[in-house]
Chain A
Amino acid sequence: MAESRSSKERLLRFAKGPGPFIIPAIVILLGMRAFPFFWQFFLSMTNMRLGTEGSFIGLQNYRFIFSNPSFFQSIGYTMIFLIATVAGQMLIGLALALLLDEDFKGKSIYRIFFLIPWIVSGLVVGILWQLMLVETPFGLLNALLIRLGRSPVAWLSVASNARVSVIIVYIWKGLGFSMILLSSGLKTVPVELLESADIDGASYLQKLIKVKIPMMKDIISVNLIFAVIASLNSYETVYVLTSGGPGGATSIIALLMFQTAFGDRSQLGRGAAIGVIMFLINLILVLIYVRKVRFGKGVTA
């Protein structure tokens, strides 16, 4: 009895205190963010198409997806795409962060320029690089190659080239974010450690590998997880650049979901199954982040 009274009291206290402030936001989040996650699980087990109700078909969508060669092609490219874009963004981002960690005039202006691609919308990045990579002689990169006396390249119409081109575009777009995060990480490395490494006669590379990178472990993990999530869930740039072609060669998983659900055959149920798979991958990444980074060291809110 005492137990139930105290919980009633707690409820009353919540209703008089934080309740009215928190509950409206929570209701909206439940309806618009949480409910769609659950609904999608249900949708993924139907054969719903645009304009039809669809009926329950159990795990057939998943069975289809996991036996379908075009899905495997998409998963395969998505993996390569994720590894290459994230590695490229982080390595070049680190190089630029180290550059801006040096002491020279005007570096804050350079930093602004390095960030420009990150602020540009995914659509404009797609349009921009479409014009850069167009295969006629007036495409920018081919014009440059011709000027240098080389022959033009089929940047987007040959599968293997298109795969690399898409990766380069995403590295170009995303590395400003890595640069900023890693820059702020470099600032947290204690000067005393670097000075004592200097006294021991450590080279630049040794200081980087033995002192700076270990000290930046946390921020590197944050960067890694954010970059993977950003690449995994990107859609419009590759949609504008290649629409997943040629022949599905650059169809990353987010694009495959859109095209399955809203393309010619508009298979919403099957698209939802891809959505569920993407949701689970995202969830794992987020949980790692929450556990290790945000709440790992007894951080209290």
Chain B
Amino acid sequence: MRGTISPLRFRKSLISHAVSLLAVFIFAYPVLWILLASVKPEVQIYREPLRLFPSVWDFSIFSRLFSSAPIATYLANSLLYSIGAVVISLSFALCAAYGLSRHQFRGKQLLLILILVVQMIPALVTVIPLYLLMKTIGLYDSRIGMVLLYSALRIPWGIWILVGFLDQIPMALDEAAYIDGAGQWTILQKVILPLAIPGLASAAIFTFVGTWNEFAIASIILRSTENLSIPIGSLAMIAADPNDWRLIAATATVNLLPVLAVFSLLQKNIIAGLTRGAVKE
């Protein structure tokens, strides 16, 4: 009987597909709609709002968007903030994770718990002191300040992901290198770093996407047009032209595409990392 599908199983899988497709429609239709609205002829947005695919593909809005608005600056800034946060926060986090994973010392458990507590309380609740802090140290409304702030805020999360990862690398490797006369920094660079790359990659994806999408803190720290990140700049552009749906859709598309690209390329790592971040295996 193997190879034949029983009618009951066939009906069950049919229902599964039907429910899944309905859910896909609810989740993906709005996102797809806004992406496609940017390349529709304007009348179609208003005359046939439910229509998904454009009759004619018209990409002119993007040339208008990039020529009239400082959106290229916003994109460059967001890249700087996101990549800066990835590099700086993960450098500090990797060092700290090395120290925490490779050594036993008094108070280590307490330190790990404190880092976890700090990580889980969103920085958003301290937006007011952070604003005053940035003003006091002269980094308010500056690109460097934004990179440093994002990096600092991401460190505890990086430590937690990486400690879990480094704990799985056998200590015997460290010991072998130590016997060969390697110091700690050499061991970290030559032994741990190459093996930690999958963990670093997973942490990098989350840090990148999280920073790219961050709105609340940037909205308080950034003021000048030349410093705005893509979400803050987008909102300013939309507020200036709230009735041009095609422009709004195009702006949203520029926000969305990098994240969707990262997600579609790396969705397996993202799904695995999501679970790992919440539950200790």
Contacts and interface: CB of A to CB of B under 8 A. Distances in A.
A-B complex is real: yes
B269 interface: no
A81 to B, nearest CB: 16
A96 interface: yes
Give the size range of B's interface with the partner: 35 or more
Contacts of A24: 92, 95-96
Contact of A43 (B122, B132, B153, B249): B132
A106 to B, nearest CB: 8
A283 B121 contact: yes
B49 interface: yes
Contacts of B34: 124, 127-128, 131
B142 interface: no
Given A138-B45, A229-B120, A299-B280, A40 B129 contact: yes
Contact of A282 (B102, B125, B127): B125
Interface in A211-236: 218-219, 222-223, 226, 229, 233, 235-236
Interface string B264-281: 100100110011001110
A263 B95 CA distance: 40
Nearest to A301: B112
Nearest to A48: B132
B96 A26 contact: yes
Interface residues of A, number: 97
Contacts of A17: 99, 103, 105, 184
A72 interface: no
A104 B93 contact: no
B85 interface: no
Interface string B98-131: 1110110110110111011110111111111111
Contact of A28 (B28, B92, B125): B92
A275 B27 contact: no
A66 to B, nearest CB: 18
A184 B12 CA distance: 22
16 contacts: A10-B105, A10-B106, A18-B102, A29-B156, A43-B132, A102-B13, A106-B17, A116-B28, A140-B33, A181-B278, A236-B215, A236-B216, A262-B131, A294-B116, A299-B280, A301-B163
Interface of B: 12-13, 16-17, 19-20, 23-24, 26-28, 30-31, 33-34, 37, 45-47, 49-50, 92-93, 95-96, 98-100, 102-103, 105-106, 108-109, 111-113, 115-118, 120-133, 149, 152-153, 155-156, 159, 163, 167, 184, 188, 209, 212-213, 215-216, 219-220, 231, 234-235, 238, 245, 248-249, 251-252, 255-256, 259-260, 263-264, 267, 270-271, 274-275, 278-280
Given A29-B152, A36-B130, A138-B47, 7 more contacts: A22-B100, A39-B129, A107-B20, A119-B259, A119-B260, A120-B256, A295-B113
